[in-house]
Structure 1
Amino acid sequence: MNLIFVLLVVIAGMGLSFEAGLLGPLGSEVGHLWATLSIFGVGASLLWLISLFIPSKETISLHAIPKWQLSGGLLGPIYVVVLTLATPALGVAMTMIGVLTGQIGKSFAIDYFGWFGTAKKPVNKLRVLSILFVILAMFFSYMGAA
């Protein structure tokens, strides 16, 4: 079962690269904020349509949800604006390896400290080595593109 999830997240990661490739030119054409708005507008419309066909288990009031959990909605637009700005300057590959480095670095901290209710995961030599390899990949990609 975990192998299926690994495959799905790799495919989702490919989708992020595709999105970055689209956002750079779109941001240059219509402006970075409008590109971000269009991406979220299309996504929200699609999710609304899907929700019409998938029954909801229960209705939960937004007031019942801890407010810090909703703060994740602020991060998506910031991420998309950064993609629209960085991708034309850095290229898709360098932009994505920078995103990957940030994601893995912060993910290790979240796992280690058990933030957001996640199970704590200890840091070991292999995990440290893996982040060092990602940082090296970012460095080599940057130097190779310069």
Structure 2
Amino acid sequence: MQRFWILPLVVLAGMGLSVEAGLLGPLGEAIGQGWAVFGIFSLGALLLTFGLIFGRPQLRALFAKPRWMLAGGLLGPLYVGALTLATPHIGVGLTMVGILFGQVGASLVIDHFGWLGAQQRKVDGYRLGALVAIVGALCLINT
């Protein structure tokens, strides 16, 4: 039953990323891409800090994990920076389909080899077909 809610949740999260891209492009053009990324992450850090203060802090557990697991903290600003730079030039649709292609392609490799602690799921024709369909969408939306 829990899995029933996971797919709609990730679809909504994906929709949120498109909205974020639509907001970041104009913000970056108005105040500069670096300031837009800084502003978005500052607000996120403020909200997260509020949650940590009133939640149960787990910093000891966080820093007890291998350092490579914290690399996601570096990837977030790069992702938001890419959204901020690309969206005004190529639009939200093409930006998001390009990002989707990168996400699915990397995800298939990670799943196939079981990297980063993921359960190993071999790439089959269906999964490869999904990636090819995204390439088709990338070509079609770029026209």
TM-score range, shorter chain: over 0.9
Q: Which residue of 1 is the match for residue 4 of structure 2? A: 3
CA distance in 1, matches of 2:84, 2:63: 33
Shift of 1:125: 1.2
Shift of 1:42: 0.2
Give the secondary-structure state (helix, strand or coil) at the position aligned to 2:60. Answer: coil
Relative to structure 1, the CA distance from residue 52 to residue 102 in structure 2 (aligned partners, 3 Å threshold; closer, same or farther) is: same
Q: Extract unaligned runs of 5+ from structure 1.
A: none
Q: Which residue of 2 is the match for residue 112 of structure 1? A: 112
Shift of 1:52: 2.6
CA distance in 2, matches of 1:83, 1:59: 30
- Map of 1:52-71 to 2, 5 A cutoff? 52-56=53-57, 58-60=58-60, 63-71=63-71
TM-score for both structures, normalised by structure 1: 0.92
Give the secondary-structure state (helix, strand or coil) at the position aligned to 1:91. Answer: helix
Q: Which residue of 2 is the match for residue 122 of structure 1? A: 122
Shift of 1:53: 2.7
CA distance in 2, matches of 1:98, 1:110: 18
| 4+ runs deviating over 4 angstroms | none
TM-score for both structures, normalised by structure 2: 0.94
AA aligned to 1:4 is W
AA aligned to 1:21 is G
Q: Which residue of 1 is the match for residue 18 of structure 2? A: 17
Shift of 1:55: 2.6
Give the secondary-structure state (helix, strand or coil) at the position aligned to 2:68. Answer: helix
CA distance in 1, matches of 2:59, 2:93: 41
Relative to structure 1, the CA distance from residue 116 to residue 29 in structure 2 (aligned partners, 3 Å threshold; closer, same or farther) is: same
CA distance in 2, matches of 1:41, 1:129: 39
Relative to structure 1, the CA distance from residue 38 to residue 59 in structure 2 (aligned partners, 3 Å threshold; closer, same or farther) is: closer
Relative to structure 1, the CA distance from residue 92 to residue 38 in structure 2 (aligned partners, 3 Å threshold; closer, same or farther) is: same
Shift of 1:59: 4.5
Residues 39-60 of structure 1: CA deviation (Å, up to 9, x unaligned): 000001011112233234x541
Give the secondary-structure state (helix, strand or coil) at the position aligned to 1:47. Answer: helix
- Indicate the RMSD between aligned Cα atoms, in angstroms: 1.3
CA distance in 2, matches of 1:53, 1:62: 17
CA distance in 2, matches of 1:20, 1:44: 19
